[in-house]
């Protein structure tokens, strides 16, 4: 009956994808399913099965704090993965076990800032929640119950070199993802093991550190996680905080893996038999339901995740007014890009073509318009001041542009755009101290900017869904970080006022010659 119900819903939505949530609910009830059709969505309420943290950094004596909250009465197994900013090669992952209503917190820091040898990053936590490997097996201790684990370069060095940097400093900035792998059955030995005792520690972490991925106490994960990140410089008094993007409806099956596996990944979305469905709200507020085939080679499951991040334009403000000591950085992260451009994932030789749309070049592809350590994608830059003014003449781009690249290209997976009035390429951004920097000369002391993700010079379109939906642009997330410095608080005293504002976006979707509906 269940298989027939899924077939019925799929056959209907393939023919007509303008179903509202209420209609989907009605069909599901008619077919004998208790809840609405499962679909990947970017939950506006901030809770979900998957959390994407757009940026971490340890540059400029900063740390990045991370938290995740389990809002449910269900114990959960979660994959924690840190990805460097050039090509999103993994620099650390481990399994985290959250008891019901649990919170886990950690801090990413520079080894050198803690007086340790090395130029890389590491993570430390005082949290008691179970992890695998156990925290006793981490690199070392900062004292007073603060184990730390160094970030590792193995995924981009040796046989895994990808033309990007090979030094350990590549681990210092990037983004983070947390993926729910399974719920722990209640009652059950796993749930009991991770539940905190009266002493505030889990009952027996060893039990869950040796889980067989096929164990029947591992159930399909439900949602209910929310997370936050913050880039903090204690000495300077700056603090840039954000909520993690929450993807709900990601999977209807358990995705538990041990600590030696690169799974689960964002490319394993599944919402039905052989299908990954995405719910996206269009520019007119209509609900777009797009279905992707997960049975093909390669699977199109990643397209369901990309669909919820697709943007034809990104919008935000900037402020570089010297009279108030202000400066601005933009973070633009492509959380699914590696699945379209990484030669190892694609199964192509390093330097060869083979990127999947909407991206153009494999990472490090030997081609005009690209280069070593890059996977460049053209965009369009449009700046405005606060009085409708904009530059006269050709559309401005990045200044100076990346060597050998068009004037407006974003070439990494995590990109930081600075607004510095300089004539040579900056070595780091003005606010976050990012080495992943690309610079835009500001048109005015304050205003706003549009990043066009589907420029006429190099259009970008997603692969079509089963039912013909094509999204224009690129899958992106990120924010503006702005800082103001007040030098007049008291003689010799500086005061920083920092703020963070998530990007706004517009979407464009077509189905044949018509707009998606």
508-511 β-sheet, strand order: 469-472, 508-511, 514-515
Of 175, 76, 198, nearest in space to 130 by CA: 76
Is 4 within a domain? no
Q: What are phi and psi of 164, to 5 degrees?
A: -80, 180
Of 81, 60, 160, 77, nearest in space to 123 by CA: 81
Q: Return the structure tokens found at 331.
A: 């973070």
Q: What are phi and psi of 516, to 5 degrees?
A: -65, 145
Q: Are residues 366 and 239 in the same domain?
A: no
E-assigned strand segments in 87-153: 90-98, 103-110, 121-124, 130-132, 140-141, 147-150
Q: Are residues 339 and 253 in the same domain?
A: no
Q: Return the structure tokens found at 179.
A: 């993926």
Is 162 within a domain? yes
User: What total number of domains does the chain contain?
Assistant: 2
Is 242 within a domain? yes
Helix (H) or strand (E) segment spanning residue 21: helix 21-30
Helix (H) or strand (E) segment spanning residue 218: strand 218-219
Q: Return the structure tokens found at 178.
A: 């947390």
Give whole-number Cα distances, 265 to 97, 177, 339, in Å: 18, 9, 10
Is 259 within a domain? yes
Q: Return the structure tokens found at 503.
A: 């990007």
Is 275 within a domain? no
Q: What is the pLDDT along the chain (517 residues), one digit of tens a residue?
A: 334 333 333 443 343 344 434 433 343 333 333 334 589 999 999 999 999 999 999 999 999 999 999 999 999 999 999 999 999 999 999 999 999 999 999 999 999 999 999 999 999 999 999 999 999 999 999 988 899 999 999 999 999 999 999 999 999 999 999 999 999 999 999 999 999 999 999 999 999 999 999 999 999 999 999 999 999 999 999 999 999 999 999 999 999 998 767 899 999 999 999 999 999 998 888 999 999 999 988 899 999 999 999 999 999 999 999 999 999 999 999 999 999 999 999 999 999 999 999 999 999 999 998 989 999 999 999 999 999 998 887 666 776 665 655 668 999 999 999 999 988 889 999 999 999 999 999 999 999 999 999 999 999 999 999 999 999 999 999 999 999 998 766 666 668 899 999 999 999 999 999 999 8
Of 149, 142, 151, 129, nearest in space to 197 by CA: 129
Q: Are residues 193 and 66 in the same domain?
A: yes
Burial readout 207-218 (b: 16 or more C-beta within 10 A, e: otherwise) = bbbebeeeeebb
Q: What is the pLDDT of residue 361?
A: 97
Is 296 within a domain? no
DSSP state at residue 172? G
Give whole-number Cα distances, 123 to 110, 151, 240, 264, 301, in Å: 9, 8, 18, 21, 31
Q: Are residues 62 and 126 in the same domain?
A: yes
Q: Is 59 helix (H, G, I), strand (E, B) or coil?
A: helix
Contact present, 406 and 397 (Cβ < 8 Å): yes
Q: Are residues 309 and 371 in the same domain?
A: yes
Of 64, 446, 103, 414, nearest in space to 232 by CA: 64
Q: Are residues 103 and 209 in the same domain?
A: yes
Q: Are residues 477 and 420 in the same domain?
A: yes
Q: Return the structure tokens found at 32.
A: 């004998």
Q: What are phi and psi of 207, to 5 degrees?
A: -65, -45
Q: Are residues 315 and 213 in the same domain?
A: no
Q: Are residues 209 and 316 in the same domain?
A: no
DSSP 189-205: HHHHHHSB-TTSSBS-H
Q: Are residues 340 and 263 in the same domain?
A: no
- How much helix, strand and coil, in percent to the nearest 5, is found in the chain? 15, 35, 50
Q: Is 24 helix (H, G, I), strand (E, B) or coil?
A: helix
E-assigned strand segments in 134-211: 140-141, 147-150, 173-184
CA distance 202 to 194: 5
CA distance 156 to 90: 8
Of 373, 359, 353, nearest in space to 458 by CA: 359
pTM of the predicted model, to two decimals?
Answer: 0.91
User: Which of the listed residues 218, 253, 268 is the one where a domain comes to its end?
Assistant: 268
DSSP state at residue 35? S
User: Which of the listed residues 268, 287, 316 is the one where a domain comes to its end?
Assistant: 268
CA distance 272 to 295: 11
Is 510 within a domain? yes
Is 25 within a domain? no
Q: Are residues 225 and 333 in the same domain?
A: no
Give whole-number Cα distances, 115 to 65, 110, 137, in Å: 19, 9, 21
Q: Are residues 238 and 357 in the same domain?
A: no
Structural domain for 151, as ranges: 43-268
Burial of 232 (0-12, 13-18, 19+ CB in 10 A): middle
């Amino acid at each position: 009956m269940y298989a027939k119900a899924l077939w019925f819903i799929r056959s209907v939505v393939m023919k007509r994808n303008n179903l509202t949530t209420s209609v989907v609910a009605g069909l599901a009830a008619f077919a004998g399913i208790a809840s609405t059709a499962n679909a990947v969505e970017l939950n506006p309420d901030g809770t979900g099965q998957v959390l994407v943290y757009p940026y971490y950094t340890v540059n400029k004596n900063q740390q990045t704090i991370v938290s995740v909250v389990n809002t449910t009465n269900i114990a959960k197994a979660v994959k924690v993965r840190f990805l460097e900013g050039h090509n999103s090669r993994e620099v650390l992952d481990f399994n985290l076990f959250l008891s019901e209503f649990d919170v886990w917190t950690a801090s990413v820091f520079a080894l050198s800032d803690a007086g340790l040898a090395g130029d890389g990053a590491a993570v430390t936590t005082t949290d008691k929640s179970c992890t695998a490997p156990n925290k006793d097996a981490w690199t070392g201790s900062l004292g007073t119950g603060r184990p730390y684990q160094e970030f590792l370069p193995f995924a981009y060095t040796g046989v895994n070199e990808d033309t990007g940097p090979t030094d350990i400093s590549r681990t210092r900035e990037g983004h983070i993802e947390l993926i729910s792998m399974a719920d722990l059955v209640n009652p059950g030995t796993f749930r009991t093991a991770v539940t905190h005792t009266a002493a505030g520690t889990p009952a027996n972490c060893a039990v869950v550190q040796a889980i067989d991925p096929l164990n029947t106490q591992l159930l399909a994960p439900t949602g209910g996680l929310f997370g936050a990140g913050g880039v903090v410089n204690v000495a300077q008094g700056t603090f840039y905080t954000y909520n993690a993007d929450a993807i709900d409806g990601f999977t209807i099956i358990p995705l538990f893996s041990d600590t030696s596996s690169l799974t689960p990944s964002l490319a394993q979305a599944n919402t039905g038999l052989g299908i990954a469905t995405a719910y996206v709200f269009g520019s007119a507020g209509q609900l777009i339901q797009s279905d992707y085939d997960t049975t093909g080679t390669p699977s199109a499951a990643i397209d369901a995740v990309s669909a919820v991040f697709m943007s034809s334009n990104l919008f935000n403000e900037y402020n570089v007014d010297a009279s108030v000591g202000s400066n601005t950085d933009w973070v633009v992260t492509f959380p699914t890009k590696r699945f379209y451009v990484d030669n190892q994932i694609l199964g192509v030789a390093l330097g060869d073509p083979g990127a999947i749309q909407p991206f153009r070049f494999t990472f490090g592809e030997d081609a005009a318009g690209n280069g070593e350590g890059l996977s460049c994608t053209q965009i369009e830059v449009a700046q405005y001041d606060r009085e409708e003014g904009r530059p006269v003449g050709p559309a401005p781009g990045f200044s100076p542009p990346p060597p050998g690249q068009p004037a407006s290209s974003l070439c990494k997976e995590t990109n930081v755009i600075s607004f510095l009035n300089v004539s040579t390429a900056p070595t780091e951004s003005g606010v976050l101290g990012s080495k992943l920097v690309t610079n835009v000369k500001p048109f005015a002391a304050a205003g706003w900017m549009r990043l066009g993700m589907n420029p006429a010079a190099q259009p970008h379109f997603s692969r079509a869904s089963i039912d013909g939906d094509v999204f224009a642009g690129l899958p992106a997330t990120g924010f503006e970080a702005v800082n103001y410095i007040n030098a007049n608080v008291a003689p010799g005293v500086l005061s920083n006022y920092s703020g963070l504002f998530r990007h706004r976006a517009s979407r464009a979707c077509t189905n044949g010659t018509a707009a998606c509906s």
